[in-house]
Structure 1
Amino acid sequence: MGAKLLCLFLASALIAYYIYTPIPEDVEEPWKVMLITASFRAMGHLAEVADRLGMMHYMDALMLLTAAEYVAPTSDENITVTDTEFSNVAVRLYLPRRASDGLRRAVIYFHGGGWCVGDAGMKSYDHLTRWTSNMLNAVVVSVNYRLAPKYRFPVQFEDVYSVTKFFLQSSVLSQYGVDPDRICVAGDSAGGNLAAAVAQQLLKDSEVKTKLKVQALVYPALQTLDMNLPSYQENEYKPILPKLLMVKFWSEYFTSDSSLREAMASNRHVPVESSHLFHFVNWSNLLPEELKKDCVYTSPTYGSSELAQKYPGFLDTRAAPLLASDAQLRGLPLTYILTCEHDVLRDDGVMYAERLRAVGVSVTHDHAKDAFHGAMMFVSSPAELAVGHRLLKRYIEWLNDNL
């Protein structure tokens, strides 16, 4: 009996140790957040084991969660939902059934997942885009772009850009009753990265006559140069997106070559000949004092030219929109940027907001001081959080007021 009690005690202690994660004091529902974080961490560990044993690629293992979360396109009394293709790219289309006084608004949405996982049909994304369509009485196009590791940059960008360009044709807008003056591109995390890149590319595309009214970037990933920003230092082990996972996503976007991941993790991946680009991500000039905390800016440590020559995508503005020049940022549409305090990507969004304002772009920077990466997706059982509902409400209200 004593041995059984000892085993039970040890097992309980190990489980408690595994589940326990320090949660910032200002985060609501800390125990629920802790359990969600432990679930994500467990999935990551299982994926790592599967990868090391040669059973499946790390990202393919993570995709099992995506598959488990998948919901079929289901129409309701308010929205007609169908899976179709635009320009040979899979999309989930949401068409309102309610009458409209005139032409409708439209949102083109790109899901998150580090360019490697995720799906427009996941429960959380289906809820978000269905809710957007219903609340705004808007046409919503949610894009299922192809993913790494099977497809590398720039395929993901090319997919979302192809869909956007197709949808912006006057004949397509007319077919769906969309007002050409009220169109938005939006996305979260890697999807926010893609939305920012699409908005920039549209400015240079003389074939596209329809202009975006707004872009909405939800905790976007925007730069590949500095993996040691204050937000990366402060939130290295924070919920949902620790630093090493973000580095893994970034490097996997371009290659499975571990040398790029290792160089990014140590912040030694940018060659000296690209040193001029650091001007665009110099957080000592672009972050407000309250976000610098106790961090001290140091000059970059440069890596060899070999990685940049083999994988030039990580220095491409289509992958890192924050590297665009001021001239390339002028003319961007009205912008919404949501950042979360406890997020490694926080400073990407903050710096982009600062740079856009500096060139005359109208920006609403919505900073959630009590939130972490991905929080807006946690709005349905069993991973439902009050902060998720609050951020979703703010995002929808901004779109309703500005689109």
Structure 2
Amino acid sequence: MGRKMIFLLIMGVLGAYYLYTPLPDNIEEPWRLAWVTTRKNTITNLALFVELLGISHFTNIVVFFMSFQEVPPTSDENVTVTETTFNNVPVRIYVPKRKSETLRRGLFYIHGGGWCMGSAALFDTDFLSRRTADRLDAVVISTNYRLAPKHHFPNQLEDVYNALKWFLYHDVLDKYGVDPERIGISGSSAGGNLAAAVTQQLKDDPDVKIKLKTQSLLYPALQTLDMDLPSYQENSHFPVLPRSHAVRSWSEYFTTDRSLENAMLFNQHVPVESSHLFKFVNWSSLLPEEFKKGHFYNSPTYGGSELAKKYPGFLDVRAAPLLAGDNKLRNLPLTYVMTCQYDVLRDDGIMYVTRLRNAGVRVTHDHIADGFHGALSYHGFKVGYRMENLYMSWLSENL
């Protein structure tokens, strides 16, 4: 009996340690977030264990489990849902069923997932897309793109850009009844990164005659230089997107060589010859005072010359839109940025808001004081519904 009691006690302590997730006091529905975190940690730890055994890559295991959350392109009473390809890139299209006397606005949406997971077919992505189409009476194009670790930068960017350019052809817009003067782009997390990058690229493309009216960036990842921003430090172990996972996603975007990930974890991946780029991500000058409290800016530690030669993508503005010069930021479309307090990517979005405003771009910034990374996509959270209403309201007024 004594051994059984000791065994049960040990299992109870380990179970409590595994299930217990310390959360800030202002997090609404902490029990729901704890449950999401437990499920996520279970899959993550299993994937890491399988990878350690050399059976499969970490991401492949996570994608396998995520595939059970995919839903078919099913139409409902409000929205017709179909699938096709735009320039050989798979997309899912949402068209409201109610009659419209005028051309509809169009929204090109890019899912998140760290450039290595996720799809337009995931339940949460599908749910948001059909809600957007119905609430805004808009045609929504939800695009897929090739994923790491099989595909690396710039494949993801090229897929999104090629699909977007296809959508912007007059014949395609006419087919779906979209007003060419009311088209926006939107994306969350890695999708926000891709949205910002293709928006910058589209502005200078002489072959594209139709320009975007808006860009909406939801907790976007925008820079690769500084992995020790205040938000990275404050939320280093926050359960939804800890610093280690964010850094690995960034690294996987460029290579499966773990040496880049290790250098990024120690913030020693940027070569000295690229030191001029740090002015674009210097949080001491780009963050409002409220986000700098308790933090002191340290001069960058350089390294990674060989890594930069092998994987130059992490210094490419197409991968890190915050590295764009002011001239590239000028005349970008009307912009919406949503950031969350409990998110390692918080400061990326806030710094982009500052830089865009300094360049003369009209920007609306909603900061969610009790929000966390991905909250808009986790179905059922009250904070997620509040975030959705803010996002939809802005689109309704500006798109």
Task: Place the TM-score, normalised by the shorter chain, in its bin.
Answer: over 0.9
1:265 pairs with 2:261: no
Deviations 1:234-276 (A, max 9, x none): 0000121000000000000000111100000000000001000
Q: Does 1:386 align with 2:382?
A: yes
3-state DSSP of counterpart to 1:193: helix
Equivalence for 1:326: 326
Partner of 1:294: 294
Q: What displacement does 1:53 show?
A: 0.8
> Between the two proteins, what is the percent identity of the paired residues?
58
1:54 shift after superposition: 1.4
Structure 1 spans left out of the alignment, 5+ residues:
none
User: How far apart, in 1, do the equivalents of 2:181 and 2:54 lie?
Assistant: 51
Contact 2:263 2:304 in 1 (8 A): no
Give the TM-score normalised by the residue count of structure 2: 0.99
1:55 partner SS: coil
Q: 1:268-302 deviations in whole A, cap 9, x for unaligned?
A: 00000100000000000000111012110011000
Q: TM-score, normalised by structure 1?
A: 0.98
Equivalent residue pairs, number: 399
SS class of match (1:366) = strand
Determine if the alignment matches structure 1 residue 97 to structure 2 residue 97: yes
| Alignment-derived partner of residue 193 in structure 2 | 193
In the other structure, the counterpart of 1:399 is 395
Deviation at 1:7, TM superposition (A): 2.5
**1:275-314 paired onto structure 2 within 5 Å:** 275-314=275-314
Counting only pairs closer than 5 Å after superposition, residues 226-237 of structure 1 correspond to structure 2 as 226-237=226-237
What one-letter code is carried by the residue in structure 1 that aligns with 2:367? H
- Whether contact under 8 Å (1:339, 1:346) holds in the other structure is yes
C-alpha distance in structure 1 between counterparts of 2:368 and 2:215, whole Å: 19
Q: CA deviation at 1:64?
A: 1.9
Q: Secondary structure at the match of 1:181?
A: strand
Distance 2:82 2:60 in 1: 26
Contact 1:66 1:119 in 2 (8 A): no
In structure 2, give the amino acid aligned to 1:97. Answer: K
1:58 paired residue number: 58
- Secondary structure in 2 matching 1:146: coil
CA RMSD of aligned residues (A): 0.9
Of stretches 61-70 and 273-282 in structure 1, the one that deviates more from structure 2 is 61-70
State the one-letter code of the partner of 1:136: L
SS at match of 2:201: helix
User: Which residues of 2 match residues 4-403 of structure 1 at below 5 A?
Assistant: 4-379=4-379, 384-403=380-399
Cα distance, 1:2 vs structure 2: 4.3
CA distance in 1, matches of 2:17, 2:304: 40
1:91-135 CA-to-partner distances (Å, cap 9, x unmatched) read 111111111120001110000000000011000000000100011
Equivalent residues of 1:239, 1:373 under 8 A apart: no
Post-superposition Cα deviations, 1:206-260, rounded to whole Å, max 9, x if no partner, equal 0001010100000000000000000000000012100000000000000011110
Asked whether the equivalents of residues 59 and 149 of structure 2 are also in contact (C-alpha less than 8 Å), the reply is yes
Distance across 1 between alignment mates of 2:304 and 2:362:
39
Secondary structure at the aligned position of 1:43 is classed as helix
| Runs of 4+ more than 4 Å apart | none
User: Are the equivalent residues in 2 in contact too, given 1:112–1:190 (CA < 8 A)?
Assistant: yes
The answer as to whether partners of 1:147 and 1:156 remain within 8 angstroms in 2 is: yes
Secondary structure in 1 matching 2:376: helix
Instruction: Work out the CA distance in 2 between the residues paired with 1:360 and 1:93.
Output: 34
2:382 maps to amino acid:
A
Deviations 1:174-196 (A, max 9, x none): 11110001001100000000000
**Distance in 1 of aligned mates of 2:127 and 2:217:** 18
Secondary structure of 1:81 counterpart: strand
- CA distance in 2 between partners of 1:51 and 1:210 (Å): 46
Within 2, Cα distance between the matches of 1:177 and 1:128? 21
Unpaired runs of 5+ in structure 2?
none
CA distance in 2, matches of 1:66, 1:106: 28
Amino acid at match of 1:331: N
The answer (yes or no) to whether the contact 2:340–2:373 under 8 Å persists in 1 is: yes
